Chains A and B, each alone.
Chain A
Amino acid sequence: MNDDQVIWNWDHALAVLPDMLWAFLTVTLYVTLLGSLIAAVLGLIIALARKTAPRPIAGVLTFVMNFIRMTPLVVQLLFAYYALTAVPPLTLGILIFGIHYATYMAEVYRAGIDAVPRGQWEATTALSMSRGRTWTAVIVPQALRSTLPALGNYVISMFKETPFLAVLTVTDMVRAAQEYGGTNFRFMEAITMAGILFLIASYPTSLLIGRLEKRLVYTT
């Protein structure tokens, strides 16, 4: 079909790198880090609220949390983009990613809290500790330990879902590849480079998380 087209053109592969690396730093990494921060903190708040708030409120919170967790991030992003027009797209992306992943984290925290041995709770009663102190000094630190690998995994997961930011017209790595393809009419090198960059970033990180997991399991 295309006899005059080469299979792989290194010039294009290299030419697309600057834009992609720029997108990587200013968008992909940025959104992943801030989004994860929001997810980790908000998730903890949600988990604690579900455990300590009165039943009806906790019930509503649980429902909303599940609703967000079980529906597509893409649709949530589209919804936010067209509804909240005053918010800049990048901020919107960070917020929605943060909230979406907070619902995952809330479940992980819940499992972590449930995994704290009954004995700990009983000990705090025996020591007449207030509820506040029980939570902050005893339960949460133990629950957090086991959730660190999970947080790590979700950070990687968020990192790989950043291409969805393209629906907000934010130029992440994949969209940078698309734009290169749109202007220069060569897409093959661009998208392959994007894939390679993803792999380079996520594979070592997941190995690290695996190591971390093994170490934590040992010390718990």
Chain B
Amino acid sequence: MSKRKTRIALATLGVLSLALAGCASGGNDGGDGDASQNTLEKAQESGSITLAVASERPYSWVEGGEPTGATIAMHKQIFKNLGIDDIKVEEVDWNSLIPGLTAGRWDVVSAGMSILPDRCEQAAFSDPEIMYTTTLAVPKGNPQGLTDLDSVAKKGDVTLAVQSGAIEEGYAKDLGISDVVKVDSATAGLEAVQAGRADAFALTAVSLNWMTKDSDALETTEAFVQVIDGVEQIGAGATVFRPGDKELLEAYNEELAKITGDEQNYLDLVEPFGFTAENLPPADLTTEQLCSGDLG
């Protein structure tokens, strides 16, 4: 009888210890410590902050265990100036970026997400960081002779791959392109074109040019700025925070201004990743402007 009791006790201990091990290894991201501390203060105190990326080269991805990319480079400098040296990175699929942010799984989304009016209602964007244009990745030789999204819409029987939740998906819908394949990541989109599941993949020019530069199978069309209903869709990417983290946003924007105000500083950080002075946002472009839909 005592043998059985011992076994039960051991089993319970086993379950508990495994559970605790899970908690310990996962780290304490819950609202522990001082509840009155905001995210910025917590990050500064612990010296570390968690970013989420969607493995979109060359904005942000993880290579050989190390986070790298243009937005990562900027973030490393900005957070270092704020006293936060340790950058932790979570690689997730695009659609999980914001739900995870809202749920507190990470504090920052570092994926050059476009500032759009609908998104502004639910999340806090930093000041614009990267201007970008769109392009299509197609099989080498461009068999369908595509130039931009309008040509895709016009041609009719072209299968277009877009990243699920990204701005190009919206463009495709507005242009009435119905034959669409939605992928989780930039790599998946390229794989789709390579495998013949899609005829073209639409994403930012910087990404696709970077990712296909050594490719034998794929090439990109010339970069363009999508026009919808006569309005040029000026694409500006920024970092995303939770609406409640106002202090973090302010501190971030302050440091960001130091980089975007100094062209040389900006280029030093992003040029290794294929960005140029053209990607630097104009000084008069504000987040409020983009959030209100005023693209003129």
Q: Are B118 and A183 in contact (CB under 8 A)?
A: yes
Among A2-10, A110-118, A130-138, the stretch in contact with B: A2-10
Top 3 nearest A-B pairs (CB, nearest first) are A182-B165, A182-B95, A185-B122
Answer whether residue B102 sits at the interface, using C-beta atoms and an 8 A cutoff: yes
B33 vs chain A, min Cβ distance (A):
14
Asked if B94 and A85 make an inter-chain contact with CB atoms under 8 angstroms apart, the answer reads no
B118 contacts A85, C-beta separation under 8 Å: no
Q: B28: shortest Cβ distance to chain A, in Å? A: 16
Residue interface bits A27-58, CB-to-B below 8 A is 1, else 0: 00000000000000000000000000000000
Contacts of A4 in B (CB 8 A): 243-244
Q: Which residues of B contact A178 (CB under 8 A)?
A: 95-96, 99, 164
Q: Give CA–CA (A2, B281) in the complex, Å.
A: 29
B interface residues, how many (CB within 8 angstroms): 31
**Are B181 and A169 touching (Cβ within 8 A)?**
yes
Task: Tell me whether A179 and B165 are in contact in the complex, defined as CB-CB below 8 angstroms, given that A4-B244, A5-B102, A169-B184 are known contacts.
Answer: yes
Contact with B along A66-109 (1 / 0, CB 8 A): 00000000000000001001101100000000000000000000
A179, B95: Cα distance in complex, Å: 6
Contact: A179 with B164, CB < 8 Å?
yes
Not counting A169-B188, A179-B95, a sample of 7 additional A-B residue pairs whose C-beta atoms are within 8 angstroms of each other reads A5-B102, A181-B95, A181-B99, A182-B99, A185-B118, A185-B119, A185-B122
Q: Contact between B182 and A5 (Cβ–Cβ < 8 Å)?
A: no
A residues near B121, Cβ cutoff 8 Å = 185
Beta-carbon contact of A2 and B244 below 8 Å: yes
Could you show 21 A-B contacts with beta carbons less than 8 Å apart? A1-B242, A5-B102, A5-B243, A5-B244, A85-B195, A85-B197, A88-B197, A169-B181, A169-B183, A169-B192, A171-B182, A178-B95, A179-B182, A182-B96, A182-B164, A183-B118, A183-B170, A185-B102, A185-B121, A187-B98, A187-B102
Chain A, residues 179-201, CB within 8 Å of chain B (1/0): the string is: 10111111100000000000000
The docked-state distance in angstroms from the alpha carbon of A185 to that of B101 is: 10
Q: Is B160 an interface residue (CB 8 A)?
A: no
Does residue B225 face the partner (Cβ distance < 8 Å to A)?
no
- Contact check, A169 vs B102: say whether CB atoms are below 8 A apart: no
Task: Give the chain A neighbours of B99 by CB distance below 8 A.
Answer: 178, 181-182, 185, 187
Residues of A within 8 A of B98 (CB): 181-182, 185, 187
Q: Which residue of B95, B164, B197 contacts A89 across the interface (Cβ within 8 Å)?
A: B197
A209 vs B122: C-alpha distance when bound (angstroms): 43
Nearest CB in chain A: distance from B188 CB, A: 7
CA distance A185 to B240 in the complex (A): 11
**Residue from B164, B170, B196, B242 within 8 A of A85 (CB atoms):** B196
Q: How far is the CA of A171 from the CA of B165 in the complex (A)?
A: 13
Question: Can you name the residue of chain A whose Cβ is closest to the Cβ of B118?
Answer: A184
A1-B244 contact given A182-B95, A182-B164, A187-B102, CB 8 Å threshold: yes
B123 at interface by CB-CB < 8 Å: yes
Chain A residues with CB under 8 A of B104? 1
**C-alpha gap A86/B196 in the complex (Å):** 7
